[in-house]
Amino acid sequence: MSLHLRIITPKRIVFSGNVKSVTVPGEKGRFQILRNHAPIVSNLVIGEIKIVDEKDNTIYYSVNGGFVYVFKNDIKVISDEVFESSEIDWKKEELELTRLKEEIKQKILKDDVSALEMLVAQKHNLIKVARRTQI
């Protein structure tokens, strides 16, 4: 029985197919899922999903939190935002990042910036994942 993976977001199903292994950013640390993995449900944090498909190609995705559900060689990644490494426009993200940092500097004394800091972490992650295949 092969290992099947689906990555599901509100807008579309980003990935659906058989894979050799998947590495996901769990809340308690990154972990790899291979065939016959024990049933597990885990929270995901901002980070990177690494897939090795049946032809030994490695694909990277950025993920913005969510959940992973593994049951009987069927993996579901459920997340709000998942982007494939090559489709990220990292130049745009870097511009956004500098703008956000500027905004935090101005607001840090009077406002709550935790939401903005969250965005910064997301942008950092996007750029990191984009660099896997670009440049």
Partner 1 sequence: MATLREIRRRINAIKSTQKITKAMKMVSAARLRRAQDAILKFRPYASEIDNLFLELFDKIPNYAHPLFFKRQVKKILLLVLTSDRGLCGSFNSNIFRAIEDFINKKLKTKYENVKVSLICVGKKGFDYFNKRNYRIDQKYLNFYADLSIDNVRNLIEIIKEKFLTGEVDKVYAVYNEFISVISQKVKIEELLPIKIVRKVKDKKNVRAIYEFIYEPDKEKILNSLVPKFFEVKTYRMFLESYASEQGARMTAMDNATENAKELLRILSLSYNRARQAAITKELLEIVAGASALKEIK
Question: Of 28 and 55, which CB lies nearer to partner 1 in the complex structure?
Answer: 28
Q: Quick check: 98 and 73 in contact, CB under 8 A?
A: no
Residue 72's region, left for phi above 0, alpha for psi from -120 to 50, else beta, is: left
Decide if residue 112 touches partner 1 (CB under 8 A): no
Question: Of 76 and 132, which CB lies nearer to partner 1 in the complex structure?
Answer: 76
Measured in Å, how far apart are the chain's first and last C-alpha atoms? 37
Segment near partner 1 (CB under 8 A), from 73-81, 90-98, 101-109, 124-132? Answer: 73-81
Decide if residue 76 touches partner 1 (CB under 8 A): yes
Shortest CA distance to 59 belongs to which of 5, 100, 105? 5
Segment near partner 1 (CB under 8 A), from 56-64, 75-83, 90-98, 105-113? Answer: 75-83
C-alpha 42 chain-centroid distance: 14
Question: Of 9 and 62, which CB lies nearer to partner 1 in the complex structure?
Answer: 9
Q: Which of residues 89-108 bind partner 1 (CB under 8 A)?
A: none
Binding-site string for partner 1 from residue 19 to residue 58, where x marks contact by CB under 8 A and - marks none: -------xxx---------xxxxxx---------------
Sort 82 into a burial class: Cβ within 10 Å, 0-12 / 13-18 / 19+: buried
